[in-house]
Amino acid sequence: MMQTGFFDWHERFEKLDRNGDPLLKLNQVVDWEMFRQPLEKIRHKERKSNAGARPYDVIRMFKILIIQSLYNLSDDRIEFQILDRISFMRFLGLGLGDRVPDAKTIWLFREQITEAGLIKPLFEKFDVCLRENGFLAQKGQIIDASIVAAPRQRNSREENERIKRGDIPEEWKEAKRRQKDTDARWTKKNGQNYYGYKNHISVDVKHKLIRDYEVTDAAVHDSQVFDQIIDESNSSRDVYADSAYRSEESVKRLKEEGFREHLQRKGCRHRKLTKREQRGNHTRAKTRSRVEHVFGVQAMMAGEMILRTIGIVRARAKIGLRNLAYNINRYSILGATG
């Protein structure tokens, strides 16, 4: 049996580089150490003894969560992929003889940063990095939302009605309660029913970077989080959104706050859109369609996101990590071409 030597690995890495390993670009462009200080907060608890294995480095664990989000992998699959793929090993700075975190350790780390409420601050910290490196929010912003599916619950109609009222059935045993997502909700879009959550995002027109986001259950109307995610720091006051966000109240509010609204208009049976309104929709759609690139890239890299977690707190963590991973990956592309 032939042994693999240093030059064999070197040759393999060179081939990866020639074929454009995207993870190499991430390491070249991103200063991962910027995340260390906030992440170290979860390690502040003093160890009771020096016995046992030392905890994994927080930056390495965080980078695992980023590639897990980029490729939409379960905890078990990301463990396997780290063991199997040399590109993942190189990205994480792991050698063949190094310990690899198992699925339970990865799950626990994500739980710890979720409980510490770190994901939104980490997202905001990276946004500061983007701005400091010249990627300011410019040319207006686009507001949109996508549905993120959650595992469908096999509840009776009566149980669903009680859950909507916030009344969890008392007859459910503790084990059953842990498996039931009572925060996710049903919604209908284009004639299809969906169960889960919504990822509401604000994207700047120039760079197509996510500048803010909110996560709600799927039944929350898009317009209800409109104000929360508008980016006041964008160099332009232009705001683009589809017709779901349009109402007399939203148009009035945007005007009062000094924004220029570019919200799509929607006709109905009793009032068809005029030719002028149709042309306006077509013109606005050219800019508004840039937000589809964000959702499209996320789907292209990772496929349709299906949550494997229970409850809105964990859903916010997983979706927030995916938004952050998108921005990090987008930055590596902009940095490489800028």
Domain edges within the chain: 6-43+54-116, 138-319
Query: In DSSP terms, which residues pair with 240 in a beta bridge?
Result: 142, 262
pLDDT number for residue 29: 92
For residue 81, the tally of other CB atoms under 10 A from its CB is 17
Q: Are 45 and 53 in contact, with CB atoms under 8 Å apart?
A: no
Backbone angles phi, psi at 226, to 5 degrees: -55, -55
pLDDT number for residue 66: 96
Quote the Cα angle for 146-150-156, to 5°: 125
Q: How far apart are CA 42 and CA 301, in angstroms?
A: 30
In single-letter form, the type of residue at position 143 comes to I
**CB-count burial class (<10 Å; 0-12, 13-18, 19+) for 291:** buried
Averages of pLDDT over each 10 residues, the chain, 338 residues: 53 64 88 96 66 83 96 93 92 91 96 95 97 95 92 65 60 57 84 90 96 95 91 94 89 93 82 84 87 81 69 93 95 75
Radius of gyration over alpha carbons of the chain, in Å?
23
Q: How far apart are CA 70 and CA 333, in angstroms?
A: 14
> DSSP label at 250?
H
Quote the Cα angle for 240-298-105, to 5°: 130
Q: How far apart are CA 93 and CA 57, in angstroms?
A: 11
What 3-state DSSP class applies to 188? strand
- Identify the residue whose tokens are 């996320």: 298
Q: How far apart are CA 191 and CA 243, in angstroms?
A: 17
pLDDT number for residue 285: 85
Judging by DSSP bridges, how do beta strands 260-263 and 238-241 pair with one another?
parallel
Q: Give the residue from 120, 129, 288, 118 showing the smallest Cα distance to 202.
A: 288
Query: In DSSP terms, which residues pair with 198 in a beta bridge?
Result: 147, 216
- Note if the pTM is more than 0.85: yes
Helix segments in the chain, DSSP class H: 6-18, 22-29, 36-39, 58-71, 75-84, 86-92, 103-115, 119-132, 157-164, 174-179, 248-256, 275-288, 290-302, 312-337
Q: How far apart are CA 149 and CA 309, in angstroms?
A: 11
> What are 8's two structure tokens?
């064999």
What is the full DSSP assignment across 142-169? EEEEEEEE-PPP---HHHHHHHHTT---
